[in-house]
């Protein structure tokens, strides 16, 4: 093996990232692909994504649905609408539903438990993944007991100073990390993750991200390029690149061979072949959108988010063909982490 990422110190990681950012080394991508194939074969797990609410109490400087963005047309799906999305997804073959939303105060424990237990009752064999941000331990516990199996909470950046430049003072990296450890302790399969080329990010920050992932050992890692959203404080910053993002995906695959790594919508949004390139660099999950068409444009975390064609459940045949052409097989099983 050429890259012993797991054994590398911060400065060594920084050097590998830096050299690949300057001139991508094809062997790195090849090695990531080989490792992914040795664990999960050529399977790409499909998850049905349902964007439940774009109401958010948080004010992250990069995010399009931040509380302070008055240009957003806010919506919230009803339980019936969510169940209808699940039914459509189930008929299409999905066996994982990802319920994602902003930190919406209306979606309190009682309402979320009601939604989750209804989905759990109707689809006992399906995995339920949640992504509703930071919550107290008791809330995470209640949602787990209602039937949720997995939780996505990107750490966004593992460097304290960088975290502060992307978030208002009421949010802290320390609390974010605590949430991730709590979720793991409760028994969720946990997803961390970060944006690549986010404003003020240094290569040293990215090395810190890898060190944090090594320590946390999450089951899933969401990695996508930063993309500006014009009505946010960071709306004039530059978007991340495909080549930087796939370098970080490949390094994460080498660091965590068993992880489930999505080739993200953001990656598909910055390049027409972003999704395939992500898969070829070690990613093994794709999350097509099952949300009602009217909701999709309102869930705009960043500008020019793709939400139709192969990104969407309606374009499933198309997506399956794209995955095949990239050299892999679409897989509709639950796709749990191999050690779970």
- Would you tell me which residues interact with ligand 5AD (CB under 6 A)? 62-63, 154, 156, 195, 224, 226-227, 229, 266, 301-302
The full length of the chain comes to 340
Give 33 or 218: the residue with its C-beta nearer to ligand 5AD. Answer: 218
Phi and psi angles of residue 127, each rounded to the nearest 5 degrees, phi first: -90, 140
| 91 CB-near residues (< 8 Å, 6+ apart) | none
Taken in order 225, 51, 298, 111, the sign of the CA dihedral is: negative
Give 232 or 331: the residue with its C-beta nearer to ligand 5AD. Answer: 232
Give 29 or 301: the residue with its C-beta nearer to ligand 5AD. Answer: 301
Give 8 or 285: the residue with its C-beta nearer to ligand 5AD. Answer: 285
Packing angle, helices 173-186 and 203-216, rounded to 10 = 30
Q: Is 137 helix (H, G, I), strand (E, B) or coil?
A: helix
Q: How far is the CB of 26 from ligand 5AD (least distance, A)?
A: 26
Give 156 or 208: the residue with its C-beta nearer to ligand 5AD. Answer: 156
Q: How far is the CB of 232 from ligand 5AD (least distance, A)?
A: 7
Alpha helix ranges (H) inside 256-332: 265-270, 274-280, 293-296, 316-326
| 161 CB-near residues (< 8 Å, 6+ apart) | none
Q: How far is the CB of 61 from ligand 5AD (least distance, A)?
A: 9
Q: How far is the CB of 159 from ligand 5AD (least distance, A)?
A: 15
Q: How far is the CB of 148 from ligand 5AD (least distance, A)?
A: 17
Phi-psi region of 329 (alpha: psi -120 to 50; beta: other; left: phi over 0): beta
């Amino acid at each position: 093996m050429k890259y012993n990422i797991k054994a590398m110190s911060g400065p060594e990681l920084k050097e590998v990232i830096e050299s690949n950012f300057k001139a991508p080394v094809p062997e790195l991508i090849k090695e990531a692909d080989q490792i992914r194939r040795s664990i999960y074969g050529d399977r790409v797990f499909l998850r049905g994504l349902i964007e439940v609410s774009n109401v958010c109490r948080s004010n992250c400087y990069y995010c399009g649905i931040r509380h302070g963005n008055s240009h957003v047309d806010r919506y919230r799906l009803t339980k019936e609408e969510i169940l209808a999305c699940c039914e459509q997804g189930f008929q299409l073959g999905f066996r994982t539903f990802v319920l994602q939303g902003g930190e919406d105060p209306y979606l309190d424990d009682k309402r979320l438990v009601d939604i989750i237990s209804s989905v759990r009752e109707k689809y006992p064999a399906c995995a339920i993944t949640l992504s509703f941000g930071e919550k107290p331990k008791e809330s995470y516990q209640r949602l787990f007991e209602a039937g949720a199996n997995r939780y996505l909470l990107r750490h966004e950046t593992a460097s304290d100073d960088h975290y502060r430049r992307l978030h208002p003072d009421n949010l802290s990296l320390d609390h974010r990390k605590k949430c991730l450890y709590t979720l793991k302790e409760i028994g969720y399969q946990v997803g961390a993750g970060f944006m690549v080329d986010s404003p003020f990010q240094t290569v040293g920050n990215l090395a810190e991200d890898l060190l944090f992932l090594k320590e946390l050992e999450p089951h899933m890692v969401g990695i996508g390029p930063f993309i500006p959203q014009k009505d946010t404080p960071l709306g004039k910053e530059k978007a991340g690149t495909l080549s930087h993002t796939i370098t970080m995906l490949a390094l994460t695959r080498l660091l965590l061979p068993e992880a489930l790594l999505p080739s993200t919508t953001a990656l598909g949004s910055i390049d027409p072949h972003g999704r395939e390139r992500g898969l070829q660099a070690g990613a093994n999950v794709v999350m097509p959108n099952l949300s009602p068409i009217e909701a999709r444009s309102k869930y705009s975390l960043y500008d020019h988010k793709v939400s139709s064609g192969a990104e969407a459940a309606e374009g499933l045949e198309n997506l399956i063909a794209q995955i095949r052409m990239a050299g892999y097989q679409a897989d509709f099983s639950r796709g749990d982490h191999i050690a779970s």
